[in-house]
């Protein structure tokens, strides 16, 4: 009985988090979907990273990324580190074409070569639930 209650409580927390994070993830989607066609392409993923590429060498080093985070959202420093680990799939401390490709594949759960709004939002809600101890719940 106690076990069941714990499960229900966990489930409710998860549902609560999901409803909290969905608007944030949706906003992130809108910001990434540059041409507004409700799908994210590889080019759009790449473009969303160019703002971090301070020295313009086409790669985003950990230092560049963290400089950006610390400049605009210093309270999210710990989250930034965590997200960088997630983006830098081959763990060479640079985010480049290989990582964009792998990140895109991870988002494209249906494997049709396009990232839909649902795919994007459900991925990000999962990330935000998993990292909720590192950022403050919005709203």
Residues in touch with Ca ion (CB under 5 A): 33, 35, 37, 39, 53, 55, 57, 59, 88, 90, 92, 94, 99
Residue (106 or 135) nearer to Ca ion, CB: 106
Residue (41 or 132) nearer to Ca ion, CB: 41
Buried b (16+ CB within 10 A) or exposed e, 56-67: eeebbbbebbee
Least separation in angstroms between CB 5 and Ca ion: 43
Least separation in angstroms between CB 129 and Ca ion: 25
SS3 readout for 11-56 = HHHHHHHHHHHHHHHHHHHHHHCCCCCCEECHHHHHHHHHCCCCCC
What's the chain's length in residues? 139
Least separation in angstroms between CB 88 and Ca ion: 4
Residue (42 or 94) nearer to Ca ion, CB: 94
Residue (14 or 54) nearer to Ca ion, CB: 54
Least separation in angstroms between CB 77 and Ca ion: 20
CA distances from 70 to 20, 63, 65, 81 (A): 24, 10, 9, 11
């Amino acid at each position: 009985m106690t076990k069941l209650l714990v499960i229900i409580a966990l489930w409710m927390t998860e549902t609560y988090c999901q409803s909290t994070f969905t608007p944030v993830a949706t906003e992130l989607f809108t910001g990434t979907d540059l041409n507004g066609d409700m799908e994210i392409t590889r080019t759009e993923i790449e473009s969303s990273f160019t703002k971090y590429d301070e020295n313009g060498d086409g790669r985003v080093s950990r230092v560049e990324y963290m400089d950006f985070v610390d400049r605009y959202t210093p309270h999210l420093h710990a989250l930034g580190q965590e997200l960088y680990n997630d983006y830098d799939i081959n763990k060479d401390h640079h985010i480049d074409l290989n990582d964009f490709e792998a990140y895109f594949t991870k988002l494209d759960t249906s494997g049709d070569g396009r990232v839909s709004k649902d795919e994007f939002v459900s991925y990000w809600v999962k990330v935000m639930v998993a990292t909720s101890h590192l950022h403050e719940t919005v709203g």
